[in-house]
Chain A
Amino acid sequence: MLDDFLNQFLPSTVGGLVFGSIYALIALGYTMVYGVLRLINFAHSEIFMIGTFTSLVVLTAIAPASPLTGIALVGVMVLIIVLSAAVSGGAAMLLEVVAYRPLRKKGATRLTALISAIGASLFLQELFALVVIPWLTGKPGRNQQPAPRIVDRDTVFTIGNAAIRTDHIIVIVAAVIMMIALDRLVNKTKIGRGIRATAQDPESAVLMGVSIDNIVRTTFLLGGAMAGVAGALYLMEFENTDYRIGFVLGIKAFTAAVLGGIGNLRGALLGGIVLGLIENWGAIFLGSEWKDVIAFTVLVVVLMFRPTGILGESLQKARA
């Protein structure tokens, strides 16, 4: 058992980092929306799913005969990332208008909003399964949808017995760049200041001339765009998707957000990576079918000792 663990430690660390980066990107959307609206945007997982399908459509349209290299690869990656981010961000904004804004105007409770979110999540899943996927791909909507390979799985270098491949590097680097960009945006720009102010105290923010509607819309746009990036990276790495892809990944990403301290952008990064690593390490001992159980157990244990997550809530407490 211990031998197994030592043998597989480095490879599963790499796998954990890749999964963790994707969790972290999705977690950003949860954590921002939660910071501002105090709401679990349950349908965020479907925004991610929309991102994977946007990339799928683009990749199928390009249909490379063989995996790409050099400029072509960079170009295609940028293309699917930008398009997925745009479509997912737009979908998230639309979601806010349809499912949350009417409730917000009525001063409804968070329970009501959560039910609305669950409804929106189911609606989007089924819409894709019944209408959108058959229309996009011409295949039955409930099947797995394979994507063409665009990155060669070449080993770039090895650490011990862990092979670091091109695709690993792309996922991790792209995720980190996006997270740094978002962190800068929230901490350094005027929009970011508005978001932080709203998270901290909506009433005072309004008195200071912040438009709540704009801030909420921007928050959904940014979070959705991050989920779109995650969708593009996921599709490139795992090369398939389906209409229910968001469910488990979404819950894990929310778990990551809570682990890191919800409302805290850097916490989402930390939570995602920690969750990805622990899951993969635990799977060596217990088998990969127990991954989800490990993730939720970790969540419960962390919350028992640190109810506000590892880094604590901070979108509110950050200097406005």
Chain B
Amino acid sequence: MKGNGVSGNSNPSRRVGALFDGARDWWATAKAWQRYALYLAALVFALILPAPWIGSFMSPGADWTSVLIFPIGTYILLAIGLNVVVGQAGLLDLGFVAFFAIGGYSVAYFGTQYGWNYWATAVFGIILAAVSGVILGAPTLRLRGDYLAIVTLGFGEIVRIVANNTDEIGGARGITNIPHPPEMFGMKFLLDPAPYYYLMVAAIAVVIVFSVRLQKSRVGRAWAAIREDEDAAELMGVPTFKFKLLAFAIGAMIGGLAGGIYAGKAVFIEPNTFPFILSATILAAVVLGGSGNLPGVMLGAFIIAWLPERFREAGWLKDLLGRDPAEYRILLFGGVLVLMMALRPEGLLPSRRRRAELQEGTGGMGAMGAEVAGPDSEASSEVSK
């Protein structure tokens, strides 16, 4: 990690980071009207994003607005949720897709079986996801790092297998004819993807505000303390278990919300909509973008969701490879992950504090064991404990 200076480095791969640091400094001292102008610009940008002339470049192979909802919007929402757990509290969750599934199944099941209103089912799904986050977290959050990772992975698989084996919720056949959201502000939620897109934008905006407020609050500072050094946080009087559980529940709620929106749009869900690979993808998006930093996380999710769509129908790529480029998506994705971690392990846009933690080699997860400390490295402090 030495030599990756925080700023003023001529290494081109750091220049993006330096530019981003500059933007961050400007933002920290920006006047109120400047901030509101930027919020407004972001909103206008979000509203014109589905325009066909943007779509023809961004997604030549599929309907752009639909792509904006799934995968892009859904991934971004999920990544913001997982960022609370992984990026802010430093808990490694490999089963995040479970909460997405719970939200989705809640909308599907209560909407089709009991005819509940879409909003009631969505809210119920969010609550159910939060409850299951607590149920999963209560026994397991005493575990550290990798043990937690494997238990959450197991939980994700359990939810999928249970959905697969329970005839009450459709078993392997899934649930069809999920009711759409009711008409709202004159927008009919039917086949046209546009209203779902606006719903997604609204949900993302709400979740961003929520997440930023949390990060700046006492809760966010407690999470940062836990992430950096759990033992020290506990000794300083932070009730670490409580805060970890809270992070889990909040992350789960956001995951459940994403699931609810997805199910409302998709009309049909089945257990295979929620595979482990989706958990891994979202985690990769969080780390790729810059774990702990919201703009980074959203950028990571966007890239991971969008790139495969962009090249799905690329003719020149098809000629080059001699077969459908879509088949190579996961192969490339895997390779890029390995490469990315080797070249820029802190992500594209890391938060400053997180980057400092990572350079210290702590950052909640600890360094890889057989790292031997150089004279000025603290990378192995975790090991010698």
Give the interface of A toward B (CB within 8 A). Answer: 34, 36-40, 98-100, 102-104, 106-116, 118-127, 130, 198-199, 201-203, 206, 212, 215-216, 247, 251, 254-255, 258, 287, 289-290, 292-293, 295-297, 299-300, 303-304, 307
Partner of A212, one of B147, B157, B372: B372
- Whether the pair A40, B146 counts as a contact (CB closer than 8 A) is yes
What distance in Å separates the Cβ of B181 from its nearest Cβ neighbour in chain A? 33
Partner pick for B150 among A127, A254, A289, CB 8 A cutoff: A254
Contact present for B368 and A199 (CB under 8 Å):
no
Using known A-B contacts A108-B341, A109-B358, A303-B151, determine if residue A126 contacts B331 with beta carbons closer than 8 Å: yes
Scoring B155, B164, B287, B362 by chain A CB atoms within 10 A of each residue's CB, the highest score goes to: B287
The stretch of B116-124, B216-224, B373-381 that contacts the partner chain: B373-381
Query: Is B380 a contact partner of A303 (Cβ separation < 8 A)?
Result: no
* Contact residue among B86, B155, B330, B338 (Cβ-Cβ distance under 8 Å from A116): B338
Bound: A130/B327 CA distance, A: 8
Q: Are B150 and A119 in contact (CB under 8 A)?
A: no
Known: A123-B331, A202-B372, A203-B373. A109 touches B157 (CB 8 A): no
Complex Cα gap A216–B345 (Å):
21
* Chain B residues with CB under 8 A of A111: 86, 92, 287, 291, 363-365
> Which residues from 341 to 370 on chain B have a C-beta closer than 8 Å to any C-beta of chain A?
341-342, 345, 358, 361-370
Closest Cβ–Cβ distance, residue B15 to chain A (whole Å): 19
**Nearest CB on B from A34, distance (A):** 7
Q: Does B132 contact A (CB under 8 A)?
A: no
- Kindly list chain A residues whose C-beta atoms are within 8 Å of the C-beta of B361: 107-109
A38 and B369 CA atoms in complex are apart in Å by 5
**In the assembled complex, which residues on chain A have CB atoms less than 8 Å from the CB atom of B284?**
115, 118-119
Contact among A34, A126, A299 for B146, CB-based, below 8 A: A34
Q: Is the CB of B153 within 8 A of A115?
A: no
Nearest chain B CB to A257 CB, angstrom units: 9
Check if B365 sits within 8 Å of A293, measured CB to CB.
no
Whether A99 lies near B338 (C-beta < 8 A) is: yes
Whether the Cβ atoms of B330 and A122 lie closer than 8 Å is yes
When each residue 313-357 of chain B gets 1 if its CB lies under 8 Å from chain A and 0 otherwise, what string results? 000000000000001101101111110111001000000000000
Beyond A38-B368, A113-B368, A297-B158, whether A258 also contacts B383 by CB under 8 A is: no
From B29-37, B137-145, B258-266, give the one contacting chain A.
B137-145
A102 engages B142 (CB within 8 Å): no
With A206-B372, A299-B151 as contacts: A107 and B86 at CB distance below 8 Å: no
A38 — nearest CB in chain B belongs to which residue? Answer: B369
Complex Cα spacing A38 to B383, Å = 9
| A109-B345, A201-B384 known; A36-B334 Cβ under 8 A | no
B309 shortest CB reach to chain A, Å: 18
Interface pair B280/A299, CB less than 8 Å apart: no
- Selected from A106, A109, A126, A289, the residue in CB contact (under 8 A) with B366 is A109
25 of the cross-chain contacts (CB-CB < 8 Å) are A39-B146, A39-B369, A106-B1, A107-B377, A109-B358, A110-B365, A112-B345, A112-B358, A114-B92, A118-B283, A119-B335, A119-B341, A122-B330, A123-B337, A123-B338, A203-B372, A203-B373, A203-B384, A206-B372, A289-B164, A289-B165, A290-B161, A296-B155, A303-B151, A304-B139
The contact string, 1 if C-beta is below 8 Å from chain A, for chain B 217-257, is 00000000000000000000000000000000000000000
Contact A203 B383 (CB under 8 A): yes
* Residues of chain A within 8 A of B164, CB atoms compared: 289
Contact call A296/B331, Cβ cutoff below 8 A: no
Cβ of B54 under 8 Å from chain A: no
Instruction: Judge if B371 is at the interface, Cβ distance under 8 Å.
Output: yes
Q: Classify chain B: how many residues form its interface, as a range.
A: 35 or more
Q: How far is the CB of A235 from chain B (nearest CB, A)?
A: 24
**Inter-chain contacts of A297 with B (CB < 8 A):** 158
Contact A37 B331 (CB under 8 A): no
Q: A122-B280, A293-B161, A300-B140 are contacts. A40–B368 as well, Cβ < 8 Å?
A: no
Cα A299 to Cα B336 with chains together (Å): 32
A300 touching B277 by the CB < 8 A rule? no
Nearest 9 A/B pairs, CB to CB: A119-B337, A123-B334, A296-B154, A107-B379, A122-B334, A38-B369, A126-B331, A116-B341, A102-B342
Asked if B1 contacts A215 (CB within 8 A), the reply is no
Known: A40-B150, A104-B368, A212-B372. A119 touches B334 (CB 8 A): yes
Q: Complex Cα distance A227/B368, Å?
A: 22
Which of A106, A199, A290, A304: most chain B CB closer than 10 A? A106
Contacts of A110 in B (CB 8 A): 145-146, 365-368
Whether the Cβ atoms of A116 and B337 lie closer than 8 Å is yes
B276 contacts A by Cβ under 8 Å? yes
When distances are taken between beta carbons in the complex, the residues of chain B under 8 Å from A39 are: 146, 368-369
Q: Which chain A residue lies CB-closest to B144?
A: A307
Contact of A122 among B140, B161, B337, B369 (CB under 8 A): B337
Chain B residues within 8 Å of A106, by CB: 1, 345
A116-B337, A255-B150 given; A203·B380 CB < 8 A: yes
CB of B162 closer than 8 Å to a CB of A: yes
CA distance A40 to B277 in the complex (A): 17
